[in-house]
């Protein structure tokens, strides 16, 4: 039964083709899309305005849910984190090597703030980048998530007692989005489509550690999303110590690609900078970063490091974070300090893993 196409892998045209192939009327396509995306219903039998015979045909032709929520945690600040198990369905997750069953799992986070409900989604299981401050890369990469698995994360985050309409999406969960670009772009198309979740392009942010060639290719994407560059260091030497993939490109090359993004799309890029205590949070680092940011149209998001057991870094002092921001602003750089959300359930930036809480405790 796993060879049935996943509903979240389908766009409107491909769903229409399935409806046509089983001899059903074309309006069934719109009925199914409304149940799935507007009402969050994946149980075919609950789609009550569709005839019983048609529901049976659909259930034999389409897989409506692929992931299983095995942990659902709520932080004291209202942040919600779900751990999803994708099972062993063929085609759902290419396995790069034989590993424990738990490596077919990924986490997603919902962050409420005023009128916004932001979904932080994963694009991969594990991460190939291996940043020295991020839990997602522990154990490396286990595989790419499909379009449908990326989109299904939003379904699970908006479901249940703590659910609700998702207004924003950030690709800041597990994985490097531009290393899984085709699936990510297709998922964004579903998120943005009027037949899908209907989330505006400017409310979708893709965060990348920086692949100049991939950024230039992403420029051609027809949906004008926001691009965030995970810089995390103001010079190449320090960046290579923190981010192994920095070996493959210089900061100058990344900023050239980012500038091309701005000139082609008209959208400012966001520079993300995780502050690590006594590592990259010194005044001289702030001055270096100000020099870089002044070369382009960008704003800077400062992120306090969120502790990860077994990693060598510490959270910076609040005084140092504020001083860092003051130096940037004194040089005319638009900068903000991002609030750490969900730390008490390890849902904050850099803390997402692919194992359950129990597995983590036993490791």
19-57 per-position pLDDT tens digit: 999 999 989 999 999 999 999 999 999 999 999 999 999
Q: How confident is the model at residue 355 (pLDDT cuts 50, 70, 90)?
A: low
Q: State the sign of the Cα–Cα–Cα–Cα dihedral 272, 275, 276, 278.
A: positive
As a whole number of angstroms, the distance between CA 203 and CA 40 comes to: 20
pLDDT averaged over every residue in the chain: 89
- Domain spans in the chain, listed from the N-terminal domain onward: 7-61, 68-362
Give the homologous superfamily in CATH for domain 68-362.
Aldolase class I (3.20.20.70)
With vertex at residue 95, the alpha carbon angle to CA 92 and CA 99, rounded to the nearest 5 degrees, is 125
**pLDDT tens-place string over residues 230-254:** 999 999 999 999 999 999 999 999 9
Of 187, 158, 9, the C-alpha closest to 69 is 158
Q: Residues of the chain with pLDDT > 90: what percent?
A: 77
Answer whether residue 361 shows pLDDT above 80.
Answer: no
Task: Write down the CATH number for the domain with range 7-61.
Answer: 1.10.150.530
Active-site residue set: 107, 349
From 136, 126, 121, 130, select the one nearest 8 (Cα to Cα): 121
- HEC secondary structure over the chain: CCCCCEHHHCCHHHHHHHHHHCCCCCHHHHHHHHHHHHCCCCCHHHCCCCCHHHHHHHHHHCECCCCEEEEEEECCCCCEEEEEECCCCCCCCCCCCCCCHHHHEEEEEEEEECCEEEEECCCEEECCCCCCCCHHHCCCEEEECCHHHHHHHHHHHHCCCCCCCCCEEEECCCCCHHHHHHHHHHHHHHHHCCCCCCCCHHHEEEEECCCHHHHHHHCCCCCCCEEEEECCCCCHHHHHHHCHHHHHCCHHHHHHHHHHHHHHHCCCEEEEEEECCCCCCCHHHHHHHHHHHCCCCEEEEEEECCCCCCCCCCCCCHHHHHHHHHHHHHCCCCEEEECCCCHHHCCCCCCCCCCCHHHHHHC
pTM of this structure? 0.91
């Amino acid at each position: 039964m796993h060879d049935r196409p996943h509903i979240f892998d389908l766009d409107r045209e491909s769903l229409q083709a399935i409806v046509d192939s089983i001899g059903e009327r074309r309006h069934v396509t719109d009925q199914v899309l409304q149940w799935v995306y507007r009402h969050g219903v994946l149980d075919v039998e609950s789609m009550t305005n569709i005839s019983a015979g048609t529901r049976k045909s659909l259930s034999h032709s389409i897989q409506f849910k692929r992931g299983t929520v095995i942990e659902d945690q709520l932080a004291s600040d209202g942040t919600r984190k779900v751990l999803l198990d994708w099972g062993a369905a063929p085609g759902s997750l290419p396995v790069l090597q034989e590993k424990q069953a738990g490596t077919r799992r990924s986490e997603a986070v919902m962050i409420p703030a005023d009128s916004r409900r932001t979904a932080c989604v994963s694009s991969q299981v594990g991460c190939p980048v291996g940043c020295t401050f991020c839990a997602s890369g522990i154990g490396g990469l286990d595989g790419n998530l499909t379009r449908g698995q990326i989109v299904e994360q939003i379904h699970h985050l908006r479901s249940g007692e703590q659910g609700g309409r998702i207004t924003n999406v950030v690709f800041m969960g597990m994985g490097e989005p531009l290393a899984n670009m085709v699936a990510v772009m297709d998922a964004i198309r579903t998120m943005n489509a009027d037949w899908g979740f209907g989330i505006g392009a400017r409310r979708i942010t893709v965060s990348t550690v920086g692949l100049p060639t991939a950024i230039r290719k992403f420029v051609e994407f027809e949906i004008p999303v926001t691009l965030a560059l995970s810089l995390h260091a103001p010079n190449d030497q320090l960046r290579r110590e923190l981010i192994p993939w920095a070996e493959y490109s210089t900061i100058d090359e990344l900023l050239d690609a980012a500038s091309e993004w701005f000139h082609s799309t008209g959208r400012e890029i966001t520079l993300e900078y995780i502050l690590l205590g006594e590592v990259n949070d010194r005044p001289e680092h702030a001055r270096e970063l100000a020099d870089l940011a002044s070369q382009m149209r960008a704003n800077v998001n400062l992120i306090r490091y969120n502790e990860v057991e077994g990693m060598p870094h510490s959270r910076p002092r609040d005084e140092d974070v504020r001083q860092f921001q003051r130096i940037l602003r004194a040089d005319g750089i638009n900068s903000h300090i991002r609030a750490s959300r969900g730390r008490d359930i390890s849902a904050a930036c850099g803390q997402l893993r692919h194992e359950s809480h129990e597995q983590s405790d036993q490791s």
